[in-house]
Chain A
Amino acid sequence: MEIFGISSQALFGQLLLGLINGSFYAVLSLGLAVIFGLLNIINFSHGALYMIGAFVAWLGLEYFGINYWAALILSPLVVGVLGIVIERLLLKHLYKLDHLYGLLLTFGLALIGEGVFRNLYGSSGQSYPVPEILQGGVDLGFMFMPLYRGWVVVAALSVCAITWYLIERTRLGATLRAATERPELVQALGINVPVLVTVTYGAGVALAAFAGVLAAPVVQVNPLMGSNLIIVVFAVVVIGGMGSILGSIVTGLGLGIVEGLTKVVYPEASAVVIFVIMVVVLLLRPAGLFGKQA
């Protein structure tokens, strides 16, 4: 069967791969959005923390025999704590300054993170095995779908859904949303906003680490794995509208699929399609697809 002269097999296959990539975009941009919402900081080190998340999983397996499933919980915890330390030690001092300083500081952190791991482990990448029960795959007719990739989509979507639920439907989330609107007043009502900020940052980077662990068996665990991805994710966040939770999830998945589609139709453009969409969106809707108009 063919659609527009493209075999449906290739089309569906690429769309599915796009969805898998989109899952990573979604989880990463979700973390960025959560952080941006409350701290007003574009967390440039998000990609590095994603990479560190993957490395923590790899190191755990290599040196302590910690398996994938444990790593899926442990690594976000470790990285979350790292995030908390970063926030308490460094970011805290920047809130009164122009928000650009947050961007610059986290950029510096990204360089440090990447550099340290590059020195310790080189940039050739370490391979992380697919966990036993997710090896193999299913034949979907149009393509052979490795189980693990299917799991990535399921896990990413679940985490997105949980995060969305936490923020939009719970008391904690309500507090968070209120603090995004008027931090001072929320504090005056007796809520410890500084701690909330710290925890939020920790949680946001834990999401990055989670994505990192998910990615570990898919790509080589490699110090540079986050640095190119993150720019795309920035574009996703800009397109979705900064700070919008639902926006970042939907846009992340959507753009992954669009990218997949481009690979079928005009592969040369697949690397840039997201940036092109970003420019178009900005010209038409400066606040992004889901952003509140300024």
Chain B
Amino acid sequence: QVSDGVVKIGVLTDLSGVYSDVAGKGTVVATQMAIDDFNAKEKPSFKIEVVSADHQNKGDIAANKAREWFEQGKVDTVSELVTTSVALAVQKIAKEKNRIALISGAASTRVTNEDCNDVTVHWTYDTYAVANGTAKAVTKAGGKKWFFLTADYAFGHSLEKDAGDVVKANGGEVVGAVRHPFPGSDFSSFLLKAQSSGAQIIGLANAGGDTINSIKQAAEFGVTPKQQLAGLLMFITDVHSLGLKTTQSMYLTEGFYWNLNDDTRAWSKRFFDLHKRMPTMVQAGQYSSVMHYLKAVKAAGTDDTAKVMTQMKKTPVNDFFAKNGTIRDDGRMVHDMYLLQVKKPAESSTPWDYYHVRATIPAAEAFQPLSASKCPLVAKK
């Protein structure tokens, strides 16, 4: 039975910081959309409530909030959790308190690798997936000598490592890396390092505002076009704020693009009406994960963590976001990813029409295979 007859979903996200465009308010909107759709369609016997809070990208703030939500607020699942350090911190609390963590925004593979647990689902993408898409494409296109500009925290480290592995696996070479404080504002001295490294490709192992600034300042200091930038994790909002002129022809990898097919366009249109911006993959993933969770609660007839987890794992995900997605034992939701290339300004016909879809990376290849996993839940198989 659902405790108190209420399912309570906490959205813990970055509402004011560098990732607030990528996730932020939009994920709260997406959550509400999911609940409204669910209520309308499934007419559940339980009530659904949402709370949201800003974790300011700080693990400790997030951990304290999650703890309070679980202990005092009767929150059943904490969701979104953009920023790797936040996700890792909250994941542990969720395990301790035996509640569910639905992660959409955070990127690091650590979530389902070293730090995996049986109450966490990692939904939208991860560093392996994006590196595997973008870094592989760039290396194959001839960019063999890489230098990384890395956000100095768990996410950046993870992305740098995953991308480095891909580069090396594809015959490339990593000549160096420099780590910048997170969030950073002045990247000039790091770019200077990258410049003098003699690399062809400067891999940006950062995200959001940091990526935007690195790209701008690289142009300012004449780093580009002599050297090429590879934005290892870029979102449509980043392209939107940088403009096509600056970003044209860059490769990027996403788990979702609004202009893929009719389903995505229809959902995205609804989202746009509410939020005035097209959804990022994080926001779309948030909807998808919450919906899947609610359906699982209904199907299991309880909000008991273990039962809901089992239910979620045994049901495939089929919605506008994912086709035949599945949740593995390590908590990874695997689905197709897309290798995209930014259009030239002339090629863009409508607003937010930014990408060519260059390839669909099938679910089976997109994510780190279980065989390579360090997750204790699957290692001994």
A contacting B, Cβ–Cβ less than 8 Å: yes
A112 contacts the other chain (CB 8 A): no
CA distance A21 to B221 in the complex (A): 15
Contact residues in A for B16 (Cβ distance below 8 Å)? 118-119, 122-124
> Residue A279 at the B interface, CB < 8 A?
no
- In contact, B189 and A124 (Cβ under 8 angstroms): no
8 Å CB contact of B216 from A13, A127, A139: A127
Task: Tell whether, in the assembled complex, residue B189 and residue A17 are in contact, meaning their CB atoms are under 8 Å apart.
Answer: yes
A220 interface neighbour in B193, B213, B220, Cβ under 8 Å: B213
Q: Which of B185, B196, B241 contacts A13 (CB 8 A)?
A: B196
A137 touches B221 (CB 8 A): yes
A143 contacts B by Cβ under 8 Å: yes
CB-CB under 8 A from A137, the residues of chain B are 220-222
A146 to B186, CA, bound (A): 14
Quick check: is B188 within 8 A (CB to CB) of the other chain?
yes
Q: Is A222 engaged at the interface, CB distance under 8 Å to the other chain?
A: yes
Chain A residues 94 to 110 lying within 8 A of chain B, measured CB to CB, are none
Interface members, chain B 184-231 (any A CB < 8 Å):
185-186, 188-189, 192-193, 195-196, 208-209, 212-213, 216, 220-223
**Chain B 218-254 interface 0/1 with A at a Cβ cutoff of 8 Å (1 = within):** 0011110000000000000000010000000000000
Using C-beta atoms within 8 Å of the partner chain, give the interface range for chain A: 20 to 34
* Contact digits for A264-277, partner B, Cβ 8 Å, 1 yes 0 no: 00010001000000
A-chain residues with CB within 8 Å of residue B20 when the two chains form the complex:
122-124
Q: List, in ascending order, chain B residues with CB within 8 A of A76's CB.
A: none
Q: Is B357 an interface residue (CB 8 A)?
A: no
Cβ-based interface call for A9 (8 A)? yes
Min Cβ gap B254→A in Å is 20
Is A154 part of the contact surface with B, judged by Cβ < 8 Å?
A: no
Evaluate contact between B220 and A225: CB separation under 8 angstroms: no
Enumerate A178-234 residues with CB–CB distance to B below 8 Å.
218-220, 222, 225
Quick check: is A55 within 8 A (CB to CB) of the other chain?
A: no
Interface assignment of A144: CB less than 8 Å from any CB of chain B: yes
Say yes or no for B17: interface residue by CB 8 A criterion.
yes
A207 to B188 Cα, complex, angstroms: 24
Give every chain B residue within 8 A of A9 (Cβ-Cβ): 196
Is A122 within 8 A of B17, CB to CB? yes
In the complex, whether A130 has a CB less than 8 A from a CB of chain B is yes
Would A263 and B216 count as touching, CB distance under 8 A? no
Known: A124-B17, A222-B185. A13 touches B220 (CB 8 A): no
Contacts of B192 in A (CB 8 A): 10, 13-14, 17, 143
Per the 8 Å Cβ criterion, residues 131-164 of B in contact with A are none
Q: Which of A1-52 contact B (CB under 8 A)?
A: 7, 9-10, 13-14, 17, 20-21
Q: Is the CB of B18 within 8 A of A123?
A: yes
A148 at the A/B interface (Cβ < 8 Å)?
A: yes
Is there an interface contact between B17 and A123, defined as CB atoms closer than 8 Å? Answer: yes
Bound form: Cα–Cα A137–B234 in Å: 27
Residues of B within 8 A of A13 (CB): 192, 195-196
A61 to chain B, nearest CB (A): 16
Q: How far is the CA of A267 from the CA of B56 in the complex (A)?
A: 27
> Shortest distance in angstroms between B27's beta carbon and chain A's nearest beta carbon?
15
| Contact, CB under 8 Å: A125 / B209 | yes
Q: List 9 A-B contacts (CB under 8 A).
A: A122-B15, A122-B20, A124-B17, A125-B185, A137-B222, A143-B195, A143-B221, A220-B213, A267-B178
14 A-B pairs besides A122-B20, A148-B220, A218-B186 with CB distance below 8 A are A10-B192, A10-B193, A17-B189, A20-B188, A21-B186, A118-B16, A123-B18, A125-B185, A127-B212, A139-B222, A143-B221, A220-B209, A220-B213, A222-B185
